[in-house]
Amino acid sequence: MATLHVLRFVWLAFTFISYLVPLAESDNYIVHMDITAMPKAFSDQHNWYLATLNSLSVDFSASSNLPTASSKLIYSYTHVIQGFSASLSPNELEALKSIPGYVSSTRDLLANVDTTHSYQFLGLNSNSGAWPVSNYGQDVIVGVVDTGVWPESESFNDEGITEIPSRWKGKCESGTQFNSSLCNKKLIGAQFFNKGLVARNPNITIKMNSARDTDGHGTHTSSTAAGNYVSNASYFGYAPGTAGGIAPRARVAVYKVLWDEGGYASDIIAGIDQAITDGVDVISLSLGFDGVELYEDPVAIATFAALERNIFVSTSAGNEGPSVGTLHNGIPWVLTVAAGTMDRELGAVLTLGNGNSVRGTSLYPGDSSLTQSPIVFTDKCDNQIELKKLENKIVVCEDKNNSISDQFFNVSSANVTGGIFISNSSDVEFFYQSSFPAIFMTPKEGEIIKDYIKSSTEPKAAMEFKKTFLGTTPAPSVASYSSRGPSFSCPFVLKPDILAPGVLVLASWSQISSVAQLKSQLLYGKFNIISGTSMACPHASGAGALLKGAHPEWSPAAIRSALMTTSDLTDNTLSPIKDIGLDFATASPLAMGTGHINPNKAVDPGLIYDATIEDYVNLLCALNFTAKQIQTITKSSTNNCSAPSLDLNYPSFIAFFNVKGSKSNSKTVIEFQRTVTNVGDEMSTYTATVTVMEGFQVSVTPEKLVFKEKNEKKFYKLSIEGPSMMKDIFVFGYLSWEDSGGKYVVRSPIVATRLQLD
Ligand SMILES: *[C@@H]1O[C@H](CO)[C@@H](O)[C@H](O)[C@H]1NC(C)=O
Ligand SMILES: *[C@@H]1O[C@H](CO)[C@@H](O)[C@H](O)[C@H]1NC(C)=O
Ligand SMILES: *[C@@H]1O[C@H](CO)[C@@H](O)[C@H](O)[C@H]1NC(C)=O
Ligand SMILES: *[C@@H]1O[C@H](CO)[C@@H](O)[C@H](O)[C@H]1NC(C)=O
Ligand SMILES: *[C@@H]1O[C@H](CO)[C@@H](O)[C@H](O)[C@H]1NC(C)=O
Ligand SMILES: *[C@@H]1O[C@H](CO)[C@@H](O)[C@H](O)[C@H]1NC(C)=O
Ligand SMILES: *[C@@H]1O[C@H](CO)[C@@H](O)[C@H](O)[C@H]1NC(C)=O
Ligand SMILES: *[C@@H]1O[C@H](CO)[C@@H](O)[C@H](O)[C@H]1NC(C)=O
Ligand SMILES: *[C@@H]1O[C@H](CO)[C@@H](O)[C@H](O)[C@H]1NC(C)=O
């Protein structure tokens, strides 16, 4: 299942229509072929695939061979996969498996759909750092594979944008309510892919058969990554200011692959294939597939092809936290992004009859009233009959046992003046966009209100909405729902990689998808405020675009390394970043990777950990995949597995202890080898420091790296000695390489764990 990583207000929730029943017999498959086995008689792969389908004559009548074969073919892929997708009966699939050149096949997976301030919060500014150095990402093309785009959004105005880079090969495809003249120098491409969806549901009517976004998600992610500036942006007055993407001058190309009617892997692969053909520099993917091996994961397979074209790919970790091991897109060749909060709260003020006021969170779109109303505390918020007696009052509800959902819906259907919901549940965010006056308070604020009500003979209060508070602390913190590592599909590479803003992000939206509800009326707007790792991912995509603009020669691994090793470990109180999912305990690398993204530091990281295609192949070999499984990912039939290694040259470390069969009193030493490349000052000396990891002995050899020139590489070893049987589930620490001039700190997290993922 692919999931879009967005949390949605419940009654605006986007769910795929379930009446799309599978065809009785045939099903859609993605088929990997070895093109070195293509007979010379064929001029191209497409004809070979057609002939291959033709030859599966079991279910075809002789007279209609060709048309049937071409109607079975859904896509011939070019870059992402050597192969095609097709609708096949079980017999045809079996027959296909014995055709020369067949490598593997997987059934098409259904994708079940899961700022005004963030650039300031990230410290981006015109005077110094990533914006001026990269020229705001001007020459970089960001491909967003998502639900399409609202092209009229002001985020895609091309004011101040130079001519389209001549290397661009993409197009602006016309379709339902989408004229190809809607693209410009900002939105340079818009294409749509739904042959997989249609093949699966032949009778389907796609209501918006074009790149136009009917949902809003794709408009939100693309404007977050690379939207132009829009002044006077806000969500009904919340979060007012100038909205802008992280790379405000970068170009946007959208590939619509997710539809109100459904979203399939075959279409997602086709979109990524086209993005690669068109010449994008960055791909932003706020979607993912749970519980699939790398060689079955459409994102892993498609992004390997992107890697070969030097395209930087950023993906979302998922919204399945806070339990460990919930992450997806834990793919060694992409960036996997976790979601954090910003130093901004959006909400309301409750002014009590005694003059004291209490701040809470809310995104209620209605108008404020300063009129004082009676306020009561009740433990009957989930009881319609009791609530009926409280009409024209503000009711205060306390979430005792995760009952917030029942309380919220009962109060919303009661005719009360307003609701105050006291809760520390992480689900509370689902309810912020309320259709009635509602304010969400923490237990601490709740006490003030309850005390006042108890002590007053005639308690009253007034609710004032549309408030924005900046500079709130602590921030960033890891969102509770952000999915946690280790990676299911490749536990040996520590994931997620990095934390980026993903909570209550304001960005552009589709004008035909409601952003709020007031009583029973749906409201529409140019902007929406939503949360999820879907929102964190495009922040990192935008940062990747800035680095690509500043260092066009850098590989995707170099860009990832620069973002990771320069990220921040502390929040705006200068304490370690906290994890909301662990009651504000210190966040671990399994929640936030190396730390919070800092693009200004990332443009000048000092050292980088690079990786080549061969390094990734060595990793795939060490995962003990079969030759065909590796070929499914790399597309090459001659993968060199003579040097298998799980020890990828990655800017982080994860060591598994408690290996089966080890004795409880013995020691285990786990060793890592790394090569760093000097991209900082020519002459420089770096010294290693390692934080204490209780119960472990961590050493680095050599402890000093002396560079004499740029791009020089140096090798070091990190070894972790620990008990064969760990007591804690995981212990973590950090290795930092600091240069003698005090300019650079190149930091990597180290995790030792006894988690067993198999
Ligand atoms: C697209 O828009 C342009 C300019 O508004 C118009 O001239 C053209 O006819 C439109 N094309 C289509 C196919 O609607
Ligand atoms: C599609 O429509 C045809 C003709 O209207 C009908 O015979 C067929 O059963 C439909 N198929 C599905 C899957 O609904
Ligand atoms: C700003 O936006 C608000 C709401 O959309 C609108 O009422 C107001 O006129 C706008 N102000 C300016 C200066 O454009
Ligand atoms: C709290 O909820 C759990 C599960 O929903 C239930 O088993 C338990 O009885 C509830 N406790 C109280 C005090 O309501
Ligand atoms: C009110 O709460 C009860 C449980 O306490 C729940 O069963 C019911 O569905 C709720 N009513 C509404 C309208 O949400
Ligand atoms: C809700 O309360 C208002 C004000 O007292 C009243 O006018 C209205 O009829 C009530 N609506 C319902 C559905 O009870
Ligand atoms: C928040 O909720 C958790 C249980 O979900 C509880 O253990 C904790 O004490 C609560 N914190 C406060 C401040 O009420
Ligand atoms: C791969 O197989 C070898 C030999 O059987 C084994 O030692 C190793 O642990 C396996 N690696 C993984 C990642 O399972
Ligand atoms: C395979 O890799 C090894 C070392 O990694 C190298 O020595 C050898 O030449 C490679 N073989 C081929 C056929 O490329």
Question: Which helix (H) or strand (E) segment is 720 a member of?
Answer: strand 713-723
CA of 402 to the centre of ligand 4 (A): 9
Q: Whose CA is nearest to atom 14 of ligand 7?
A: 443
CA of 203 to the centre of ligand 2 (A): 6
The better pLDDT of the pair 65, 437 is held by 437
CA of 412 to the centre of ligand 6 (A): 13
415 Cα nearest atom in ligand 6: 1
pLDDT tops 80 at residue 43: yes
Q: Could you say which of 104, 508, 514, 534 is catalytic?
A: 534
Q: Whose CA is nearest to atom 10 of ligand 2?
A: 203
Summarize the confidence of residues 232-254 as an average pLDDT. 95
Evaluate: CB of 179 within 6 angstroms of ligand 1.
Answer: yes
Residue 56 pLDDT: 83
Structural tokens at position 624:
């003990």
Q: Could you say which of 79, 217, 328, 539 is catalytic?
A: 217
* DSSP letter string, 471-497: S-SS-SEE-TTS---S-SS-TTS----
> Average model confidence (pLDDT) for the chain?
91
Q: Catalytic residue at 220?
A: no
Weakest mean pLDDT among 472-481, 631-640, 661-670: 661-670
Q: Are 646 and 313 in contact (CB under 8 A)?
A: no
CA of 606 to the centre of ligand 6 (A): 66
Partnered with residue 461 across adjacent β-strands are 352, 373
* pLDDT band at residue 115 under the 50/70/90 scheme: low
* pLDDT band at residue 123 under the 50/70/90 scheme: confident
**Ligand nearest the Cα atom of residue 527:** 3
Q: What 3-state DSSP class applies to 286?
A: coil
Q: Whose CA is nearest to atom 3 of ligand 1?
A: 181
Residue 59 pLDDT: 45
Evaluate: CB of 181 within 6 angstroms of ligand 1.
Answer: yes
119/126 Cα distance (integer angstroms): 11
Alpha-carbon distances, residue 271 vs 32, 77, 85, 172, 309 (angstroms): 17, 10, 13, 14, 15
* pLDDT band at residue 606 under the 50/70/90 scheme: very high
Residue 15 pLDDT: 25
Q: Whose CA is nearest to atom 1 of ligand 2?
A: 203
Weakest mean pLDDT among 109-118, 261-270, 391-400, 675-684: 109-118
Summarize the confidence of residues 168-179 as an average pLDDT. 98
Weakest mean pLDDT among 1-5, 293-297, 526-530, 622-626: 1-5
Q: Under the phi-then-psi rule, with left for phi > 0, alpha for psi from -120 to 50, and beta for the rest, what region is 699?
A: beta
The better pLDDT of the pair 23, 522 is held by 522
The better pLDDT of the pair 497, 388 is held by 497
pLDDT tops 90 at residue 153: yes
201 Cα nearest atom in ligand 2: 13
406 Cα nearest atom in ligand 5: 2
CA of 652 to the centre of ligand 8 (A): 22
Alpha-carbon distances, residue 659 vs 326, 696, 756 (angstroms): 22, 16, 9
Residue 16 pLDDT: 26
758 Cα nearest atom in ligand 8: 14
Q: Whose CA is nearest to atom 14 of ligand 6?
A: 415
Residue 68 pLDDT: 67
**Mutational pocket test of ligand 2: of 18, 203, 204, the residue with most ligand atoms within 8 Å of the beta carbon:** 203
Residue 25 pLDDT: 72
**Mutational pocket test of ligand 6: of 415, 417, 519, the residue with most ligand atoms within 8 Å of the beta carbon:** 415
**Ligand nearest the Cα atom of residue 183:** 1
**Nearest in space to 212 (alpha carbons), one of 163, 175, 265:** 175
**Mutational pocket test of ligand 6: of 391, 394, 519, the residue with most ligand atoms within 8 Å of the beta carbon:** 391
**Ligand nearest the Cα atom of residue 232:** 3
pLDDT tops 50 at residue 63: no
DSSP summary character for residue 36: G
Q: Whose CA is nearest to atom 14 of ligand 8?
A: 623
- Entry pTM: 0.91
Longest dimension (CA), the chain: 93
Q: Whose CA is nearest to atom 1 of ligand 8?
A: 624
Q: Catalytic residue at 328?
A: no
CA of 417 to the centre of ligand 3 (A): 28
pLDDT tops 60 at residue 294: yes
**Ligand nearest the Cα atom of residue 415:** 6
* pLDDT band at residue 662 under the 50/70/90 scheme: low
Q: What 3-state DSSP class applies to 542?
A: helix
Q: Are 589 and 732 in contact (CB under 8 A)?
A: yes
* DSSP letter string, 659-711: -TT--TT-EEEEEEEEEEEE-S-SSEEEEEEE---TT-EEEEESSEEEE-STT
Q: Could you say which of 108, 114, 139, 146 is catalytic?
A: 146
624 Cα nearest atom in ligand 8: 1
* pLDDT band at residue 667 under the 50/70/90 scheme: confident
Evaluate: CB of 413 within 6 angstroms of ligand 5.
Answer: yes
Evaluate: CB of 174 within 6 angstroms of ligand 1.
Answer: yes
186-242: per-residue pLDDT in tens?
999 999 999 999 999 989 999 999 999 999 999 999 999 999 999 999 999 999 999
CA of 682 to the centre of ligand 8 (A): 41
179 Cα nearest atom in ligand 1: 1
Phi, psi of 74 (to 5 degrees): -95, -60
CA of 233 to the centre of ligand 3 (A): 8
Q: Are 595 and 568 in contact (CB under 8 A)?
A: yes
Summarize the confidence of residues 718-722 as an average pLDDT. 96
CA of 674 to the centre of ligand 8 (A): 21
638 Cα nearest atom in ligand 9: 13
Phi, psi of 40 (to 5 degrees): -60, -25
Angle subtended at Cα 111 by Cα 106 and Cα 114, rounded to the nearest 5 degrees? 145
612/648 Cα distance (integer angstroms): 10
The type of residue at 162 is: T
Q: What 3-state DSSP class applies to 749?
A: strand
CA of 216 to the centre of ligand 5 (A): 30
CA of 472 to the centre of ligand 3 (A): 26
Q: Whose CA is nearest to atom 6 of ligand 8?
A: 624
CA of 409 to the centre of ligand 9 (A): 64
Q: Whose CA is nearest to atom 12 of ligand 2?
A: 203
125/246 Cα distance (integer angstroms): 11
Q: Whose CA is nearest to atom 5 of ligand 7?
A: 425
Structural tokens at position 227:
């939207």
**Ligand nearest the Cα atom of residue 519:** 6
Alpha-carbon distances, residue 552 vs 141, 311, 603 (angstroms): 12, 11, 12
391-416: per-residue pLDDT in tens?
989 999 999 877 898 999 999 999 89
CA of 583 to the centre of ligand 7 (A): 8
Structural tokens at position 360:
């809470």
* pLDDT band at residue 2 under the 50/70/90 scheme: low
Q: Catalytic residue at 534?
A: yes
Evaluate: CB of 205 within 6 angstroms of ligand 2.
Answer: no
CB atoms within 10 A of CB 133: 17
376-389: per-residue pLDDT in tens?
999 999 888 899 99
pLDDT tops 70 at residue 757: no
Packed helices 265-278 and 298-308: angle between N→C axes, nearest 10 degrees: 10
Summarize the confidence of residues 165-171 as an average pLDDT. 97
pLDDT tops 60 at residue 18: no
Question: What is the percent of the chain where pLDDT is above 90?
Answer: 79
391 Cα nearest atom in ligand 6: 2
Cite the DSSP H helix spans in 371-413. 384-388, 404-413
pLDDT tops 90 at residue 694: yes
Burial of 200 (0-12, 13-18, 19+ CB in 10 A): buried
Residue 125 pLDDT: 84
Q: Whose CA is nearest to atom 14 of ligand 9?
A: 640
CB atoms within 10 A of CB 555: 17
**Ligand nearest the Cα atom of residue 181:** 1
Residue 127 pLDDT: 81
Q: Whose CA is nearest to atom 12 of ligand 8?
A: 623
The type of residue at 52 is: T
Phi, psi of 403 (to 5 degrees): -100, 10
Pocket of ligand 7 (CB under 6 A): 424, 443
